[in-house]
Amino acid sequence: MSGFKKVALVGSGLIGSSIAHNIRARQLAEVIAVIELSEDRCDEVLRLGLADIATTDLSIGVKDADLVILCTPVGTYAELARNMSEHLMDGAILSDVGSVKAQVISDVAPHVPFGTQFIPGHPIAGTEKSGPNAGFRELFENRWVILTPTQGTEPKAIDRLCRFWEACGAKVETMDADDHDMVLAMTSHLPHLIAYSIVDTANKLESSLKSEVIKYSASGFRDFTRIAGSNPTMWRDIFLTNKSAVLDTLSRFNEDLTVLQKAIQDSDGTALFETFTETRKIRHEVVEQGQAGTFDPREPDEVDSDPQVLTPYGGA
Amino acid sequence: MSGFKKVALVGSGLIGSSIAHNIRARQLAEVIAVIELSEDRCDEVLRLGLADIATTDLSIGVKDADLVILCTPVGTYAELARNMSEHLMDGAILSDVGSVKAQVISDVAPHVPFGTQFIPGHPIAGTEKSGPNAGFRELFENRWVILTPTQGTEPKAIDRLCRFWEACGAKVETMDADDHDMVLAMTSHLPHLIAYSIVDTANKLESSLKSEVIKYSASGFRDFTRIAGSNPTMWRDIFLTNKSAVLDTLSRFNEDLTVLQKAIQDSDGTALFETFTETRKIRHEVVEQGQAGTFDPREPDEVDSDPQVLTPYGGA
């Protein structure tokens, strides 16, 4: 059986709360404990029905848990692992959902007690929303979860965690931590950095131009604002902990952007056309992989202001 | 009455075909003529029911039309205007849908005959799809259309074109052409350039890494691929015709990106956090303006492969 007796979720943001929804809906554990930073947040978690136990005390939260998942920004993991170490149950699985894996292993592994199976994980799923209220059951449906187990991890434990994620609707792959970090630097971290940067540029425009940019944002820019609306703490930690892969992809990007910039300066239409034709092929490959996706249309703020479901993203 | 006797659409791509759907559904003209480059394309237009007349002959297409709209890439406008000039009806309105306005005025205005009202226009709406099959009636619903009339344009003609677009569901504003080009460089042209560039970077990765990037694209990157899947000819022309505004915003962006790059290099978490907090505010303003939108969820290739409506875009 793949069910757990007690799952302890450290953090109840978008991912943590979505995991809780899945455990509830699919009966994947007998007890859900959420560990949060404040009593207010614990109250909110209980009010939302996300947990049976909500506590600010890490030792109470992880006690007797056979699955513990770190769902906080990756910068907090080292201290959390150190503090929970002596309270982890023998035979427990310790995992996480961080978007960086090599640094997470360096931070957490030294504190993992003998008898606990540490299996780093990363569900590639999310929205730009944060907090316990942002989670929903369908978040992991048809999404990848990458596990990066270290040598010596019991295959049985990996298998058990796989089945947990599959029960949440996800597809699971295992991968080397460094490979994961390079792939994610390209697919996620660099795009987020770029989106943050372009919105930052707009933010610094003189105020009349800035208000027109916001008014007429439905033309590419608003998709960047969506990405750049993501949780600041989480993203700060990602850039700090996947520094070398991010800087490496950024430097490749800068080179390619300089080539395009020069093509515009030189009015080299052929070069532009060729690049744009190549990039279109990548789009087709992404669509073929079934990962093309769509933004979450349920967002209440948008549904309220614009009941039109078929709102396209604005072309030019 | 705001209806037209005959509307001639030069080009039947995403925008042209969407205008045709609107004219049909809302009875905004008695006759729709589409001018296309090939007989095959004319046949397709007729098969899709987009026009009463589909012709490769510009003079036949615009003959007796009281509204002519250029819906081709902006690089084609000068020649089109020159070639149609002597065939335009006295009292006709000539407009366009190009994403650049100052250069369009330079290209078109010299060829506009006395008695024709030239009113440059730009519907800020679109998807990454192209072609007669890509259009749909709801495309302009609640979207902005910016008109940049030149001095001496008859207010009556502007009013008539306004009412046409409003009948298509759009909100209309008039603006100075240079202001338009600066705002669009920031909201649309720069984001597209960046998206093309980042997908270009991914495209140049060694093949094993590239295939993993495509596989795990649901994390920011796929939204860039969507933008970078847009029509290459159209975008080549936009960058060539709005060169100075694009290069200006690009240089501002490069400066801001360099600051973020340095913050990562220096592990300056405070600087990153502060920037990411500011950009999040912009997102909230965009949402408040009701322009936050969502990607078009009707895309058949995606709906088929993933019937899940609530597919979020992938966070990290």
pLDDT tens readout for residues A217-226: 877 888 889 8
Partner A, chain B 130-149, Cβ-Cβ below 8 Å: 136, 138-139, 141-144, 146
A81 membership: H or E segment, kind and range: helix A77-84
Residue B70 is encoded by which pair of tokens? 């250029």
- Max mean pLDDT range (B189-193, B222-226, B227-231): B189-193
Percentage of residues in chain B with pLDDT exceeding 70?
91
Q: In this complex, do A302 and B280 lie within 8 Å of one another by their Cβ atoms?
A: no
Tens of pLDDT, residue by residue over B125-160, are 988 888 999 999 999 999 999 999 998 899 999 999
Angle between helices B243-265 and B177-184 (to 10 degrees): 30
At residue A220, the pLDDT reads 81
Our CA-based measurement puts residue B257 at a distance from the nearest CA of chain A, in whole angstroms, of: 6
Supply the pLDDT for residue B2. 56
The torsion angle over the Cα atoms of residues B111, B112, B113 and B118, rounded to 10 degrees, is 180
Question: Residue A20 pLDDT more than 90?
Answer: yes
- What is the pLDDT, as a whole number, of residue B18? 97
> Would you call B295 and A275 a contact, using CB atoms and an 8 Å cutoff?
no
Query: What single-letter amino acid sits at B285?
Result: E
Distances (CA, A) of B23 to B30, B41, B245: 9, 20, 34
| Cβ-based neighbour number of residue A150 at 10 Å | 13
- Segment A297-306 shows an average pLDDT of 27
Does residue A314 sit at the B interface (CB-CB below 8 Å)?
Answer: yes
Question: In this predicted structure, what is the pLDDT of residue A223?
Answer: 85
Helix (H) / strand (E) element for A275: namely helix A269-288
Q: Which of A179, A170, A215, A220 is nearest to A198 (CA)?
A: A220
From the CA of B48, how many Å to the nearest CA of chain A? 20
Amino acid at A203: N
Strands B121-123 and B144-147: antiparallel
Of the spans A56-65, A119-128, A224-233, A304-313, which averages the highest pLDDT?
A: A56-65
Residue B187 pLDDT > 80, yes or no? Answer: yes
Q: Which of A150-154, A295-299, B138-142 has the lowest mean pLDDT?
A: A295-299
Put simply, whether B79 touches A (Cβ < 8 Å) is no
pLDDT band at A1 (very low <50, low <70, confident <90, very high): very low
Buried b or exposed e, range A49-67, using 16+ CB within 10 angstroms: ebbebbbeebeebbbebbb
Size of interface A-B (CB pairs under 8 A): 458
Confidence (pLDDT) at A222: 87
The Cα-based distances of A22 to A17, A64, A224, B76, B213 in angstroms read: 9, 21, 29, 54, 27
Start-to-end CA span in chain B (Å): 53
Contact (CB, 8 A) for A38 and A49: no
Subunit contact B272:A218, Cβ cutoff 8 A: no
> CA-CA distance, A265 to B251, in Å (whole number)?
12
Q: What is the pLDDT of residue A296?
A: 31
Mean pLDDT for the stretch of residues B36-47: 97
Instruction: Please state, in angstroms and as integers, the Cα–Cα distance from residue B58 to each residue in B82, B86, B111, following that order.
Output: 11, 11, 15
Q: Which residues pair with B8 in a beta bridge?
A: B33, B68
Are B210 and B202 spatial neighbours (Cβ–Cβ below 8 Å)? yes
Q: Is the pLDDT reported for residue B191 higher than 80?
A: yes
Q: Residue B66 has what DSSP assignment?
A: S
Min Cα distance A284 → chain B (Å) is 8
* Sequence-ordered list of residues with C-beta below 8 angstroms from that of B11, at least 6 positions apart, any chain: B34, B35, B36, B70, B71, B72
Contacting residues of A for B235, CB less than 8 Å apart: 272, 276, 316
Question: B68 pLDDT exceeds 90?
Answer: yes
Contact between B314 and A293 under an 8 Å Cβ cutoff? The reply is yes
**What are the tens digits of pLDDT across the range A160-199?**
999 999 999 999 999 999 999 999 999 999 999 999 999 9
Cross-chain residue pair B308–A236, CB shorter than 8 Å: no
The alpha-helical segments, DSSP class H, found in chain B are 14-26, 39-47, 58-62, 77-84, 102-108, 155-167, 177-184, 190-203, 207-215, 221-227, 232-241, 243-265, 269-288, 300-305
Of B198, B204, B249, the CB nearest to A194: B198
Banded model confidence at residue B304, pLDDT cuts 50, 70, 90? very low
B92-136 pLDDT, tens digit per residue, is 999 999 999 999 999 999 999 999 999 999 999 988 888 999 999
* Mutation site for A-interface testing, chosen from B71, B279, B296, B309 by largest number of A Cβ within 10 Å: B279
Domain definitions of chain B by residue range: 4-175, 179-292
Sheet holding A144-147, edge to edge: A121-123, A144-147, A171-174
pLDDT at A98: 97
Residue A312 pLDDT > 70: no
Q: Considering only CB atoms, which chain A residues are within 8 Å of B148? A: none
Mean pLDDT, to the nearest integer, of A78-97?
Answer: 97
Whether A164 contacts A67, CB under 8 Å? yes
Chain B: nearest CA to A114, how far in angstroms?
31
Per-residue confidence band for B298, with pLDDT thresholds at 50, 70 and 90: very low
For the cut 90, the answer to whether the pLDDT of residue B1 exceeds it is: no
- Within 13 Å, how many C-alpha atoms sit on residue A290's CB side? 10
Contacts of B259 (CB under 8 A, 6+ apart): B271
Q: Cβ contacts of residue B193 below 8 Å, gap of 6+?
A: A257, A260, A264, B239, B246, B250
Which residues does chain B have within 8 Å of residue A267's beta carbon, measured at their own beta carbons?
A: 240, 243
Minimal Cα–Cα distance from B17 to chain A, Å? 14
Q: What is the pLDDT of residues B256-294, one digit of tens each?
A: 999 999 999 999 999 999 999 999 999 888 888 765 543
Mean pLDDT of A142-163: 95
Judge whether residue B75 has pLDDT over 90: yes
What average pLDDT does chain B have?
90
- Of the two residues A312 and B241, the one the predictor is more confident about is B241
* Structure-token match 């930690």, residue found: A237
Cβ distance A277 to B232 less than 8 Å, yes or no, reads yes
Contacts of B46 (CB under 8 A, 6+ apart): B54
Residue showing tokens 């080179």: A255
Contact A71, A15 (CB under 8 A): yes
pLDDT given at position B164 = 98
Mean pLDDT of B191-204: 94
The pLDDT value given to residue B294:
38
- Residues contacting B174, CB < 8 A, separation 6+: B146, B147, B148, B149, B158
What's the pTM?
A: 0.86
CA–CA gap between residue A8 and residue A63 (Å, rounded): 9
Distance CA B166, CA B291 (A): 17
| Mean of pLDDT over chain A | 90
- Please answer whether residues B235 and B99 qualify as being in contact, where contact means their C-beta atoms are separated by less than 8 angstroms: no
CATH for A179-305, options being 1.10.3660.10, 1.10.1760.20, 3.90.1150.10, 3.30.460.10: 1.10.3660.10
pLDDT band at A308 (very low <50, low <70, confident <90, very high): very low
Chain A hits for B224, Cβ within 8 Å: 191
What per-residue confidence (pLDDT) applies to A316? 47
Q: What are phi and psi of B189, to 5 degrees?
A: -70, -45
Considering the domain B4-175 in this protein, what is its CATH number?
Answer: 3.40.50.720
pLDDT number for residue B186: 95
Tokens of A44: 């909110």
Q: Residue A158 pLDDT > 70, yes or no?
A: yes
State how far residue A106 is from chain B, nearest Cα, in angstroms.
17
Those of residues 199-238 in A touching chain B at CB distance below 8 A are 199-205, 209, 212-230, 232-238
Q: For residue A279, which amino acid is it?
A: T
> Which residue of B200, B213, B267 is in closest CB contact with A183?
B213
Rounding to the nearest 10 degrees, give the CA dihedral for residues A35, A36, A39, A42. -70
Residue B113: CB atoms within 10 A of its CB come to 16
Same fold, A4-175 and A179-305: no
pLDDT at A159 over 60: yes
Taking contacts as CB-CB distances below 8 angstroms, the residues of chain A near B265 are 243, 247
Average pLDDT over residues A4-24: 98
What residue in A sits closest to B310 (Cα-Cα)? A296
CATH tag, B179-292 = 1.10.3660.10
User: Is the pLDDT score of A304 beyond 70?
Assistant: no
Nearest CA in chain A to B305: A290
The string of pLDDT tens digits covering residues A252-285 is 999 999 999 999 999 999 999 999 999 999 988 8
Nearest to B286 among A225, A267, A295 (CB): A225
